[in-house]
Structure 1
Amino acid sequence: MTQPQTYLEALKHCSDAMISAQKPILILDAIKWPQQTEVEFFADGAKRLPAISREDYARMNPLGFDPDDKRRELESIAHTITQRLGADDPLGRILLQTLNQYQTVVSMLENRGTPAFQAASQTLYGSTRDALRGDTLSLIDLGKRLCEIFSLPAAQHLNASHPKNIEAGAAVDILRQRLQPYFVDSAFTVKETDGIVSDASAGGDCIKVNTHAAFSKLDLQVLEVHEGWVHVGTTLNGRNQPWATWLSAGSPRITALQEGLAVLIETLTFSSFPGRARRISDRVVAIDMAEAGADFMEVYRHFINQGLGQRESYKIAQRVFRGGDVAGGACFTKDLSYVRGLVETVNFIRSAILADRPELLPWLFAGKVALDDIPTLYHYHKEQIIAPPRYLPPMFRDLNGLYVWFGFSSGFAAIDLKNIQAHFQSLFRQHPS
């Protein structure tokens, strides 16, 4: 049954209000470290904690909003949603859940550099001791196992064959040439910047490439599908929504699906590599250490002792302690989203196939969505409220290969791998590597 025009107008009004309210809440900008901090850390022999304090965050990265005013604004929008859409409206509930998370984000950012920052981060992104959805395995147990797999000698050998010999300017040109045809009829672009911590990141309809970074050919393949197909693609699909305009804006509740889907696409396109996969699992271990009270230097030295380079070890520790306290007691847990999101997204796809609902799978790309939103969004698509995703990776445009891949995966899950591995290990021992 098609919803009346008054409902559609109310939905768009509430969506637009939330988008406007969240615009100045820039989490990564509020907790980023200047490039000079890394320069000074190594100039000092990598022997002292980086000079980042609670006061530094307030001075370097002032919030673009007043926390109390922002809380009142978010509460007012929530009241409007309840009045105009109803407390039991399924799309209204998604909006209310998102607004509630923004309230927690406001608290997190006004407590940068304190234990309250970590507590809010754990509320938003979870803890390493959390169990995976529908399972008893914890994130840290899975993270440690993945670290072992991606640290094997063979993995290190494979990594060495892909040198980082492409400078930022050339990387921008390559990514632009590859992705502009994918995002035809959009405002998509790629540009250099020195204002990000990572080597590259997606923001709206743009991929930003760190001026100070160098890339391998495989790195660029990862960026093409991870930042481009997933992060930019879902943003642009969200912007194409006529009524549910909030689907163009990300919030912490959608981070696990965004990052998990991006890692999955890396894997399905054979773009990833062991070093990349290890960085993702290393971050789980780093967060676990920081949650247990380790300081920046302890995390940094742990990865040095694990055989990682100085710069790479610094980047891992930096990602974990940005916004927190380098002396210990407060960290940022967002990077758990990669491993958690990958497992949960794979399980969603397998479950949709086993339930004979493969038509739900393209809706992973409908915008900035959480897994639990997808059946609701599909239902409202049938009522002509939610538009289908325009920019879709090829394996989600034609589901045949994806269905077969994950159909086999679901069938193989019943096999006892321990017995199989024991059989082949006896063969491997006859011809050691």
Structure 2
Amino acid sequence: MTDSTLSVSDLAIDHALAQTAASMQFLLDVTPVNADEIKADFVNGRVRDPAFVYRPVEVQPDVLSKALHNIDVSAIEDPTLGHLLRAKHRELALQFDMLRARDTDDFKALSIELYGGTSPELRTQAEGILERVKVTEGPGEVVPAPEFLELAQAEIDHYREIDPEIDLHAEMRDDVNGIMVTGNTLLIDNDSVVQRARVNGLLQHEVGTHLVTQVNGAAQPVQVLGTGLAGYDETQEGLAVLAEVACGELTPFRLRQLAARVLTVHRMQGGAEFVEAWRALLKDGFTERSAFTTTMRAYRSGGLSKDAIYLRGLVDLLAHLRGGGDLALLWLGKFSLADLPLISDLHERGVLVAPRLVPRYAEDPASTARLNAAADSVDDVAQLITGAAA
């Protein structure tokens, strides 16, 4: 197939793959439900080896694997789509293996296979940030979860004014840790508090990036663009952090947090114990509770290396911008920057439709100017914070 129409059989395979991907909630399934309770015990010295508890997996990995096995991606006719969906098929198989291996020694190795490791270059960036971005904002006024929910709902309503048919939601729950998006829903931990100075940046991260691209991807003929093509997480999180830069709300603490995540993942992959990684963050100037959350995220389920992708994705996108690239096609759905040429091919052939929504910051000249300036910091991300010592 070389025209704008994909075959019915190709679309059927895509839809089956998208449905299989949507039938699991991977991040929820690998994140402990008792992190807040354990945090208090750990920080107060009552626990030194946290025992995390995880929610029951709603759909058993063996069932998901069988459903995946029944999807014959080798039969896809369109070469571009075939490449994309075969890669997604392999990624889903790996994620199902990770769910089987949750909280075992095998999980860490599978996680590295899925998300990659921490390169020396990325660690150098992270170390530079912690060394030179020393002064962080004070705690200031905080926004509790109910108020943040109202602000998130207002942000969703902004997009509903543009397209009343969009299917987006926000809700508070007691079985999540922090604030996260799964599918078309923003989940907010009942106990979450957000610095008011961070609110807009977080809204642009979660709603303006993750939910907007979910809406756009779900509206595509290629449905996997809604659930996410293989490797989409890194570019999605990079885009989401870039949104914080664009709206002028990437704070010193936030940049240090992203650097700490990289170094904690590196320590986890190197075999450091939980308490060792936590103490290393204390030496880097993080509070006990903040250090616990960062360490928990890297050590959950046996070792999850996902947190290294935030800084890595940001660096890759800054390099993309510095090289003359733009972000326009990245709003079409959830996919990796590495797959941009393939997405461009589908777009040029008329296979993909225009995005239903564009992040509000993408149409703000001030945001464009901030991103153009930020692109010059790709070799030294610490410079994103004005005044970071050279």
TM surpasses 0.5: yes
Q: Secondary structure at the match of 1:181?
A: helix
Q: Deviations over 1:22-42 (max 9, x none)?
A: 223322222221236425624
Moved more, 105-114 or 116-125: 105-114
Structure 1 distance, partners of 2:129, 2:59, is 40
Name the residue aligned to 1:3: 3
**SS of alignment partner, residue 191 of structure 1:** strand
Number of aligned positions between the proteins: 378
Partner of 1:106: 96
Q: Note the C-alpha offset of 1:10.
A: 2.5
Larger Rg: 1
User: 2:385 maps to which residue?
Assistant: none
Counterpart code for 1:387: V
Cα distance in 2, alignment partners of residues 220 and 258 from structure 1:
19
In the alignment, does 2:306 pair up with 1:334? yes
The aligned runs of 1:62-101 (5 Å cut-off) are 62-77=56-71, 79=72, 81-85=73-77, 89-101=79-91
1: CA distance, partners of 2:192 / 2:266: 27
What is the aligned counterpart of 2:299 among 321, 335, 346?
Answer: 321
For residues 333-392 of structure 1, give each alpha carbon's deviation from its aligned partner in whole angstroms, at most 9, with x where no partner exists. 000110110011111222244xxxx5xx31111111111222222222232210122211
- Would the alpha carbon gap of residues 386 and 309 (structure 1) be closer, same or farther in structure 2, given more than 3 Å must change? same
Tell me the residue number matched to 1:48. Answer: 48
1:215 match: secondary structure: strand
Evaluate the alpha carbon distance shift between residue 29 and residue 251 of structure 1 in structure 2; reply closer, same or farther with a 3 A threshold: farther
Identity, in percent, stands at 23
Counterpart-to-counterpart distance in 2, 1:342 and 1:99? 26
CA 1:213/1:65 → structure 2, altered by over 3 Å: closer, same or farther?
A: closer
SS of the residue corresponding to residue 188 of structure 2 reads: strand
Is 1:295 the equivalent of 2:273?
Answer: yes
Please state if 1:122 is matched with 2:120. Answer: no
**Compared CA separation, residues 272 and 46, structure 1 to 2 (3 A):** farther
Within 1, Cα distance between the matches of 2:287 and 2:354? 44
Q: Contact 2:204/2:240 (CA < 8 Å) preserved in 1?
A: yes
For the residue of structure 2 that corresponds to 1:379, the secondary structure is helix
Kindly report which structure 2 residues correspond to 1:54-203, keeping only aligned pairs within 5 A, or say none.
Answer: 60-77=54-71, 79=72, 81-85=73-77, 89-128=79-118, 130=119, 138-150=121-133, 152=134, 155-156=135-136, 159-160=137-138, 162-184=139-161, 185=164, 186-198=166-178, 200-203=179-182
Pair 25,191 (structure 1): closer, same or farther in 2 beyond 3 Å = closer
Structure 2: distance between partners of 1:279 and 1:407: 22
**1:246 match:** 224
Separation in structure 2 between the aligned mates of residue 317 and residue 188 of structure 1, nearest angstrom: 31
Q: Specify which of 221, 237, 242 is matched with residue 259 of structure 1.
A: 237
User: Partner letter of residue 146 of structure 1?
Assistant: I
- Gap runs ≥5 in structure 2: 381-388
Change (3 A) 1:413 1:85: closer
Cα distance in structure 1, aligned partners of 2:310 and 2:199: 19
Residue pair 1:202, 1:232 contacting (<8 A) in 2 also: yes
Q: In structure 2, do the counterparts of structure 1 residues 299 and 407 end up closer, same or farther at CA, with 3 Å as the change threshold?
A: closer
Q: Is the 8 A contact 1:238 1:246 kept in 2?
A: yes
Aligned counterpart for 1:236 among listed residues 215, 236, 241: 215
Partner of 1:17: 16
AA aligned to 2:266 is D
Contact 2:25 2:182 (C-alpha < 8 Å) held by counterparts: no
Q: Which has the higher contact order (CA 8 A, sep 6+)?
A: 2
Distance 2:214 2:130 in 1: 31
SS of corresponding position for 1:138: helix
Instruction: Judge conservation of contact 1:102–1:251 (CA < 8 Å) in 2.
Output: no
Equivalence for 1:388: 354
Q: Per the alignment, in what secondary structure is the counterpart of residue 61 of structure 1?
A: coil
State the partner residue of 2:333: 367
Q: Give 1:261 shift.
A: 0.7
TM-score (norm 1): 0.79
CA pair 142-320 structure 1, distance change in 2 beyond 3 A: same
SS in 2 for 1:169: helix
TM-score in terms of structure 2 length = 0.88
> Contact 1:283 / 1:320 at 8 angstroms: preserved in 2?
yes
Query: Taking structure 1 as reference, are residues 252 and 310 closer, same or farther at Cα in structure 2, changes over 3 Å only?
Result: farther
Question: How far has the Cα of 1:213 moved from its partner?
Answer: 1.5
Q: In structure 1, how many angstroms separate the alpha carbons of the residues matched to 2:373 and 2:310?
A: 23
Q: Read off the aligned partner of 2:186 and give its amino acid letter.
A: I
Quick one: which of 286, 309, 316 aligns to 2:287?
Answer: 309
| Larger deviation, residues 263-272 vs 68-77 | 68-77
2:267 maps to a residue whose letter is M
Q: Deviations over 1:236-292 (max 9, x none)?
A: 001111x11111003561011000011111011101210111111101111111111
Cα displacement (A) at 1:398: 7.5
Q: Structure 2 counterpart of 1:83, which letter?
A: A
Using the alignment, how far apart are the partners of 2:365 and 2:87 within structure 1? 31
Query: CA–CA distance in 1 between the matches of 2:43 and 2:375?
Result: 49
How far 1:397 moved relative to its partner?
4.6
Counterpart among 179, 182, 189 of residue 210 in structure 1:
189
Amino acid at match of 2:94: T
Shift of 1:414: 11
